[in-house]
Structure 1
Amino acid sequence: MSGAVILDPLLPWPVLWAALALAVGMVGLALWRGLGGWWLRGLAAAAVLAALANPSLQTEDRNPLSDIVVLVVDDSASQRLADRPDQTAQAVEAVRAEVARLDNTELRIVRLGDGQGNEGTLLMTALAEALAEVPRARLAGAILLTDGQLHDLDRAPDMPAPLHALLTGQPDDWDRRLVVTNAPAFAILGEEVMLTLRIEDQGAAPVPPDATTQIDIAIDGAEPQTYTVPLNRDLELPVMLEHAGRNVIQFSVAAQPGELTDRNNAAVVQINGVRDRLRVLLVSGEPHPGERTWRNLLKSDSSVDLVHFTILRPPEKQDGVPVSELSLIAFPTRELFLEKIDEFDLIVFDRYKRRGILPMLYLENVRDYVEKGGAVLIAAGPDFASAESIYRSPLADILPAEPTARVIEEGYAPAITDLGQRHPVTQGLKAEAGGEWGRWFRLIDLTPKGGQVVMSGLGDRPLLVLDRVGEGRVALLASDHAWLWNRGFEGGGPQLELLRRLAHWMMREPDLEEEALSAEAEGRRMTITRRTLSEGARSVTVTRPDGSEEQVTLQEVAPGRFQATYEGPEIGLYRLADDDLDTVIALGPAAPREFEETIASGARLAGPVDATRGGILPVSAGMPDIRTVREGRAAAGRGWIGITPRGAYLTADVRITPLAPAWAFLLLAAAFSLGAWLREGRR
């Protein structure tokens, strides 16, 4: 029960204040005139003013409320290292017992796990949400049981009571981590790109700071290369990408005895390889309508450097015109076909035949160029079936089909073979055409020797044959009438798309590989795609970051294209394998944010804790006592932490009783006035 005197004036407060001023003035005048009853006049005025103020006694029946202490328990991944789970469990029980000893105090425990995705430890967010459910007038204090590694310090709430931190971990904890400090998202093929990484020891490391260690570097899941590098220093690593598309570079350091975790001993960098310039050599045997089609296609791409070699005047042409009047600049055939042939990404022979302009030595060099990784595309015309055919040269060793010397001059509609329906060069072309394709009127009869026939002509004869030779690629188009589609003859066809895909397949565009395994990540979900020319069910072996394996069955979504969606159980690096193909993909970083720093430290919590005069104490030194302290006093000391009792209550009943009736105040005022009159009259 609690009581207090309250005022409920009978007149408005301005009137009451005016009356008070008038009474003070009259009493002051009486004092100035030397009247002996001035003080009785003042008491009479006070009685009148008290009657007007109407004083009352307010009595409350109060039900006291308990003080609340909030304990936020950090159960994130870094808190599951070493003996921290046992420390956490023992600390929770100790705090529970300490709070139970305090009068009228209750404990509320909030547990915090890992943040969504890779947000890390959202300790302050959990504290703010817990305080939102606690009446501010009842909060006596808050305790954070954590390793001090949080990632939302900017969300620290305003605390009306002391805030303390109990740190888990041991004084001799140490950990080694690998950090990539600088890595570009894109890089040009064939040019060095510089990565910056650092291997550092944290905590009480048992090795000197200037020691060395070994690092393994693997690109696209290949066999890793091992290097010896210094510790605790920034390392500049030059990297040259070998292929276009996504390149996954994995760095790893062997786990050391005694370190807290090896989850931060690896890092993954994904760099998209792009080609700076594509160099293409187009060799045209003689002018014809399709020659401009090839030239326009290659020149339309600003990233293509085209060198076009056209034979306008064959050696056998004898018209008596002096050579000095015909020749402008001699074409550098020796330089192109001997000295700089390896600088080209693609060589196109468009209706070329042997005329003695390119010696056999040059064509041998083209053959060797393909076997070493180059690409040759042959658009065959009638000359391909003649005795002067380019097939009658060293190029026969790499061509996937042999001409039968027959040229078919008859209309036909090109068609995609069953194999072509699965090959990325021709897959879906029929759908893109939006109807029947226009006819072609010439076909060079071929006898396949190998490779893949992806398009056919009249009587299912091979029209487009693709093959891999050594490390290079060869394509043979058995007609020179593709330009009819470009002119829209009988509705035309997807000529530009076909030739574009064909050229990019030969230049190893990753999206056009016929045998490929790839994955795209979004959060913890990956979409696995397998392209293949073979038929039958497909499955992929997924190796998780912890080394466990799982078979994932793929569903055929298009001819030769299989897909599946896989939900990764944890953040890290996953390896996918099927037959001889494998790839790696990172779901989130290889080292999650939770493991970036694992040594327990109260440095980040010092600001919000000091603002409430709280304390940061290690659990390893023993559990502190919990005491009560007055508001504004230091709330932590050696071996103890304090909470502030709030004295909150709930009012059950309120009673208001006047101190005295109004007539009593008026009677008292009359008595004082009479006393003043008698005193002054007697004088």
Structure 2
Amino acid sequence: MFPPCLNGWGSDAMNEVLINPLVPLPVILLAGAICALLLAFALWRGLSGVWLRALASACVLSAMANPSLQRETREPLNDIVIVALDQSASQDIADRSTQATQALDVIVTAVQARPSTDLRVIDVPDSADDQGTKLMSSLSQILAEEPRARVAGIVAITDGVVHDLSVTPDFPAPFHVLLTGRAQDWDRKLTVQDAPAFAILGEEVLLGLRLDDVGAVPNAVANGRAVLDIAIDGGAPRRFEVPVGEDLQLPVTLPHGGMNVLQFSTPELDGELTARNNTSVVQINGVRDRLRVLLVSGEPHAGERTWRNLLKSDSSVDLVHFTILRPPEKQDGVPIDELSLIAFPTRELFLEKIDEFDLIIFDRYKRRGILPTAYIDSIRTYVEQGGAVLIAAGPDFASAVSIYRSPLADVLPARPTARVIEQGYLPQVSELGAKHPVTRGLTGANKGGQPPTWGRWFRQIEVEAERGQVVMTGVDDQPLLVLDRAGEGRVAQLASDQAWLWDRGFEGGGPQLELLRRLAHWMMKEPELEEETLTAEQDGDTLVITRRTLSDDVSDVFVTTPDGAEQTITLSEVAPGQFEAVLEVDEMGLYRLSDGKIDAVKAIGPAAPREFADTIATPDLLAPAVEKTQGGIVPIIDDVPRLRDVRVGRPASGRGWIGLTPRGAYQTTDVVLTSLVPAWLFLLLAAGLSVAAWLREGRRA
């Protein structure tokens, strides 16, 4: 393509003289050298017709070079103006979207009024995976699709907060920024600087937080203090007053195992741009360092070893096993202070350090005076204050020395009737147990009227459930496994001492390990085994809302989206005790859920997306790219600049205007090549000049 034609628009012609040799160039050069030698010889001899011979040689060489006239027909091409409209989430703050739309209308009208100019408008939406505003990536893509020689200018309508400056393209024309926002804008933002992915229960972890006021902060706000609310799992928040503009180290102790959702927020103040960055959510998985279990065996029996092996098989369990080998009623003359093989620290375990245990198991224990009433009462208090007790009942539970005849009866949900049933039966999951997380979906459980596939047990202590939840039954649908809450703690009663038959594989065995692990985790208040829960999990672009309950139906769930909008979701039963619904989500941030009884929160991406990390409009980030092209950055709150033509290399912005550089690009539609002088005419001239030289030299002779 030849240099641009700058003499007007419309079809144009370009003429140019070219050399179109008839023979290869080396032949012409060789012929020229021979002619030069002959002319030099003629001059040496003093021939009078040397100048005629020189003209004849020039005609011969010109004929061989074949000078031609090239005529091109060119079609001018329109200039291209690119306008990028930032439609990221930060542009929805205040009236920025309105400002941007009005500026776009003005620029579009101005470009369309220009002759021979095409307009390209591109939208720059939120990027996926919270990557922020990808303005430069969008411009690089469209510049790769358009002829760079036709681009007369690039205009970006944005708040200036761009997150892909590392891929800034080499702009072929002036790059201008029309800046949205206002000079008096200010905002308060909350940032979590450091948070672990998991933490040990009972141990403090430090979270790094920071509150900052940015922009044109009013004097009434700039007092250096702010309110910080902290809530866990959507519960009632605790309020603190913290300094602004300083790094904070917040000690946190997780309340339970599993996922803990910690929400930090500061109230929205009058005049600040947005409250979207006033909240931050941290999800920390709570794990137990060690599970401390106290196993109290009333007497040696076949199932004792099973309990011990089960607990010792888990490396995360610290087991203290207290076994009564020789009861005091055995009259063999052994002093009572020698009944244990070693001195057992009963007072230390049951009074002083009982709170250090996560679970206490009584396996066929009966009152024999080994543990005084004060110790049993200490265990009752331990349960009411958040501890967990599991009773594996043997025949003694139905006798007068039953542990039920102690202060522990206040927290036990089932009362013994004094009857011991000795017959084979299949333990079954009750209708309520089919909904309870401890027994729901147990391997081999009865389902749809079909009996369970596990082995039989042969002893059951008859009990009457006065409260709690009967999740398994035995003979004649009598309560076999009863779960209950007592104060802040939890209690489980297993009305049989023959669970060990499953461990031994009798008649195919059964899911003893699975059942007892679920029991332990439920008693440890693990969230995944709570019977009344409301949870939400992200699945691609959807949010799967799950409500577990022991009721037959559930209420609608009210969902509050990150932008404050509310939706009502109706759940459907997908399994006994489990109701679900799927919600399409198209916005990152914090979703709040409530059914009137249980509240929950779910963070899709960060609670405050990257678009809201910096909300103050700024020219600073794009200034280097603008200056490199001699463009301009113009706030559009007052007025949109007019367009003006400027020459390449001249400043392209000024007061109230921004410049475009007309490119004068064209495409060649036709080329005609014509010889300037026919070759025969050159040869005829050469012959004539040669004859004239011979005649002139002949007369002189």
Matched with 2:272 is 259
TM-score by length of 2: 0.91
Give the counterpart of 1:403 among 388, 405, 416. Answer: 416
Q: Distance in 1 between matches of 2:178 and 2:668?
A: 36
Q: Distance in 1 between matches of 2:659 and 2:505?
A: 87
The yes-or-no answer on 1:515 pairing with 2:532 is yes
Which deviates more, 413-422 or 661-670? 661-670
* Structure 1 residues 90 and 501, CA gap change in structure 2 (3 angstroms): closer
The yes-or-no answer on 1:335 pairing with 2:352 is no
Matched with 2:477 is 460
Unmatched tracts of structure 1, length 5 or more: none
* Structure 1 residues 261 and 301, CA gap change in structure 2 (3 angstroms): same
Give the counterpart of 1:55 among 42, 67, 73. Answer: 67
Matched with 2:281 is 268
Q: Secondary structure at the match of 1:364?
A: helix
Matched with 2:10 is none
Which deviates more, 41-50 or 327-336? 41-50
Conserved 8 A contact 2:325-2:340: no
Q: Secondary structure at the match of 2:303?
A: helix
Q: Distance in 2 between matches of 1:513 and 1:21?
A: 104
Give the counterpart of 1:76 among 84, 88, 105. Answer: 88
Q: Distance in 1 between matches of 2:641 and 2:46?
A: 71
In the TM superposition, 1:456-535 aligns within 5 A as 456-522=473-539, 524-535=541-552
The one-letter code matched in structure 2 to 1:223 is A
How far residue 114 of structure 1 moved from its aligned partner, in angstroms, is 2.8
Give the counterpart of 1:298 among 299, 311, 317. Answer: 311
Matched with 1:284 is 297
The one-letter code matched in structure 2 to 1:540 is V
Matched with 2:583 is 566
How far residue 520 of structure 1 moved from its aligned partner, in angstroms, is 1.1
Q: Distance in 1 between matches of 2:658 and 2:697?
A: 68
Conserved 8 A contact 1:572-1:592: yes
* Structure 1 residues 183 and 15, CA gap change in structure 2 (3 angstroms): farther
Matched with 1:585 is 602
How far residue 342 of structure 1 moved from its aligned partner, in angstroms, is 0.5
Conserved 8 A contact 2:303-2:498: yes
Matched with 2:561 is 544
Conserved 8 A contact 2:444-2:454: no
The one-letter code matched in structure 1 to 2:382 is Y
- Give the % identical residues: 64
* Structure 1 residues 246 and 325, CA gap change in structure 2 (3 angstroms): closer
The one-letter code matched in structure 2 to 1:366 is I
* Structure 1 residues 62 and 333, CA gap change in structure 2 (3 angstroms): same
In the TM superposition, 1:137-536 aligns within 5 A as 137-207=149-219, 211-319=224-332, 329-431=342-444, 436-522=453-539, 524-536=541-553
The one-letter code matched in structure 1 to 2:229 is D
Q: Distance in 2 between matches of 1:324 and 1:351?
A: 22
Q: Secondary structure at the match of 2:130?
A: coil
* Structure 1 residues 322 and 87, CA gap change in structure 2 (3 angstroms): closer
Give the counterpart of 2:625 among 608, 612, 620. Answer: 608
How far residue 327 of structure 1 moved from its aligned partner, in angstroms, is 6.0
Give the counterpart of 2:101 among 89, 108, 117. Answer: 89
How far residue 310 of structure 1 moved from its aligned partner, in angstroms, is 1.4
Conserved 8 A contact 1:282-1:348: yes
Give the counterpart of 1:657 among 674, 679, 683. Answer: 674
Which deviates more, 471-480 or 133-142? 133-142
- How far does the alpha carbon of each residue in 1:325-372 deviate from its partner, in whole angstroms, 9 at most, with x for none? 986531111111000000111000111111211111111100110011
The one-letter code matched in structure 2 to 1:188 is I
Q: Secondary structure at the match of 2:517?
A: helix
Matched with 1:125 is 137
* Structure 1 residues 325 and 213, CA gap change in structure 2 (3 angstroms): closer
* Structure 1 residues 84 and 417, CA gap change in structure 2 (3 angstroms): closer
Q: Distance in 1 between matches of 2:248 and 2:45?
A: 98
Q: Distance in 2 between matches of 1:355 and 1:26?
A: 141
How far residue 134 of structure 1 moved from its aligned partner, in angstroms, is 2.4
How far residue 422 of structure 1 moved from its aligned partner, in angstroms, is 0.9
Q: Secondary structure at the match of 2:621?
A: coil
- How far does the alpha carbon of each residue in 1:513-548 deviate from its partner, in whole angstroms, 9 at most, with x for none? 111111112455211111111113543222333444
Q: Distance in 2 between matches of 1:387 and 1:405?
A: 8
How far residue 443 of structure 1 moved from its aligned partner, in angstroms, is 1.0
TM-score by length of 1: 0.93
How far residue 189 of structure 1 moved from its aligned partner, in angstroms, is 1.4
Q: Secondary structure at the match of 1:425?
A: coil
The yes-or-no answer on 1:617 pairing with 2:629 is no
Q: Distance in 2 between matches of 1:15 and 1:203?
A: 78
Matched with 2:15 is 3
* Structure 1 residues 201 and 24, CA gap change in structure 2 (3 angstroms): farther
In the TM superposition, 1:14-53 aligns within 5 A as 14-19=26-31, 43-53=55-65
* Structure 1 residues 236 and 18, CA gap change in structure 2 (3 angstroms): farther
Unmatched tracts of structure 2, length 5 or more: 1-12
Conserved 8 A contact 2:429-2:445: no
The yes-or-no answer on 1:666 pairing with 2:666 is no
Q: CA RMSD in A?
A: 2.7
* Structure 1 residues 549 and 666, CA gap change in structure 2 (3 angstroms): same
How far residue 45 of structure 1 moved from its aligned partner, in angstroms, is 4.0
Conserved 8 A contact 2:445-2:454: no
How far residue 615 of structure 1 moved from its aligned partner, in angstroms, is 2.5
Conserved 8 A contact 1:217-1:252: yes
How far residue 561 of structure 1 moved from its aligned partner, in angstroms, is 1.0
- How far does the alpha carbon of each residue in 1:29-59 deviate from its partner, in whole angstroms, 9 at most, with x for none? 7778887776665554443333223332121
* Structure 1 residues 49 and 421, CA gap change in structure 2 (3 angstroms): same
- How far does the alpha carbon of each residue in 1:586-637 deviate from its partner, in whole angstroms, 9 at most, with x for none? 2232222222212221222123323333232322464334333333343334
Q: Secondary structure at the match of 2:304?
A: helix
The one-letter code matched in structure 1 to 2:347 is R
Q: Secondary structure at the match of 1:353?
A: coil
- How far does the alpha carbon of each residue in 1:121-166 deviate from its partner, in whole angstroms, 9 at most, with x for none? 2212322333344222211111111111122223333322222212
Q: Distance in 1 between matches of 2:44 and 2:503?
A: 120
Q: Distance in 2 between matches of 1:33 and 1:310?
A: 140
Matched with 1:104 is 116
